[in-house]
Amino acid sequence: MRKYINIVLAALVTLTMFSCTKKADVAGIEPKLPAIKLSSFGYQQVGPFTISGSTANTLLINFGATLTNQETGAFKLEILDGTTATSAVIKTINFASWNGYDDTSNPSATPAVIVHTITATPQTTTYPNTSVLAGTILLKLSTMGLTAGKTYSVRATAYNKDGSQNSVFTALSFFKTI
């Protein structure tokens, strides 16, 4: 008798384990998600970076972000003169959107003047009302007034469409120059 009870119990547990499907509680989770969030920031190049002459580097920065019930707006990148979050800002690069050129570029000029660019590409997600973006920023280091032999930190601020929400990500000791 005991043997049959164990078999029935094992069968019942097995059936309940594999007969259920779980669905995300979107209505419960969505209000807890941040409106906008920079989630990563980095590069794959090998430093230190050359900042002048014909071999000056262009730094390609990768970033990830999510937006919940929001659209992208402006994007700001600040170069900090040092290795702490309180280091002085020596250069601010402003982008009007998450795709395009910075405010010092002039693509209409002859010849076109392109200084810094940003691109944010939507990624596939199963959450409704949530956008996941993978982005790149190209910085021409020779245009930024940097000093050779120094280490710089970077602070990125991503804004939603109306500027009412933002996310800040600071990368300390982000890159070094030669």
Q: Taking Cα atoms as reference points, which of 78, 89, 53, 61 lies closest to residue 178?
A: 53
Q: For residue 12, is pLDDT > 70?
A: no
User: Which pLDDT value is given to residue 4?
Assistant: 59
Q: Count Cα atoms within 13 angstroms, Cβ side, for 113.
A: 7
How much is the pLDDT for 96? 97
* Residue 128 pLDDT greater than 90, yes or no: no
Confidence of residue 18 (pLDDT cuts 50, 70, 90): low
Average pLDDT, the chain: 88
Give the position of tokens 């078999």: 7
Neighbours of 122 (CB within 10 A): 11
**pLDDT for 45:** 93
Q: Residue 54 burial (CB < 10 Å; 0-12/13-18/19+)?
A: exposed
Report the pLDDT averaged over residues 8-32. 60
Could you give the domains of the chain?
34-176 (2.60.40.10)
Give the pLDDT band (50/70/90) at residue 17. low
